[in-house]
Amino acid sequence: MQTIEVNGLVFEEYLSAENIAEIVGNVAERINTDYTGKEPLFICVLNGAFMYASDLFKKITLPSEITFVRLKSYEGTATTGEVKILTPLTMDIQGRDVIIIEDIVDTGLTMHGFMHQLRGMGANSVELTSFLFKPEALKYADATPKYIGLEIPTKFVLGYGLDFDEKGRNLPALYVLRS
């Protein structure tokens, strides 16, 4: 088992770069099929999703566009939660078929808030793909991704764009915190 140390914590390899490529290819195939005849607009959620978005977008064979937002979510006392947009959308999404690209859905707070905002901006449809999904951690059912790369247990992971205190994003494989 290959292990690495990041900021004093030990992580074990969970998915190899080859496993990841296969997972991403499967998601792309489903989207290519479901959106045949459409021109989807992908919205990559920075920072974590940049690697997944890059690999996924290269495998999309539809006429399509991509744009980027940077989000920060806040855990409020209200059940709806609040999502702050640090870098806002610069594209008009009126009438568009939007597919959000996220790295991981954990409690679902971030995507619950963001999808609600997008629907209020006149998109024709709003769907979500997430490379990883932690179903047991989900608190907002409407943030369940339609296109999931892999469901994982509620454990901390890093690599392939995901960070631990901004470290580890450059790792081409995915690692899980040793328990």
- Positions touching ligand IMP (CB under 6 A) are 48, 73, 102-110, 156-158, 162
Q: How far is the CB of 36 from Mg ion (least distance, A)?
A: 29
Which residues lie below 8 Å from residue 159, measured CB to CB, with a gap of 6+?
11, 168, 169, 171, 172, 173, 174, 175
Let me know: does 45 contact 103? Beta carbons within 8 Å: yes
Let me know: does 145 contact 107? Beta carbons within 8 Å: no
19 binds, among Mg ion, ligand IMP, none (CB under 5 to 8 A by kind): none
Q: How far is the CB of 177 from Mg ion (least distance, A)?
A: 17
Give the span between the Cα atoms of 86 and 41, in whole angstroms.
Answer: 20
Which entry of 34, 106, 142, 165 is annotated as an active-site residue? 106
174 binds, among Mg ion, ligand IMP, none (CB under 5 to 8 A by kind): none
- Residue 115 vs 158, nearer CB to ligand IMP: 158
Active site residue 106: yes
Q: Which of residues 93-132 bind Mg ion (CB under 5 A)?
A: 103
User: Residue 10: which H helix or E strand, with range?
Assistant: strand 9-15
Q: How far is the CB of 157 from Mg ion (least distance, A)?
A: 12
User: Residue 57: which H helix or E strand, with range?
Assistant: helix 50-58
Residue 51's nearest CA partner among 164, 150, 131, 160 is 160
- Residue 40 vs 108, nearer CB to Mg ion: 108
Q: How far is the CB of 68 from ligand IMP (least distance, A)?
A: 14
- Residue 53 vs 60, nearer CB to Mg ion: 53
Give the span between the Cα atoms of 95 and 20, in whole angstroms.
Answer: 32
Residue 118's nearest CA partner among 95, 141, 150 is 95
Q: Which x/- pattern, by CB under 5 A, does the window 26-65 give for Mg ion?
A: ----------------------x-----------------
Q: Following CA atoms 149, 152, 154, 155 in sequence, which dihedral angle do they give, to the nearest 10 degrees?
A: -100
- Residue 14 vs 35, nearer CB to ligand IMP: 14
Return the active site residues: 106
Residue ranges binding Mg ion (CB under 5 A): 48, 103
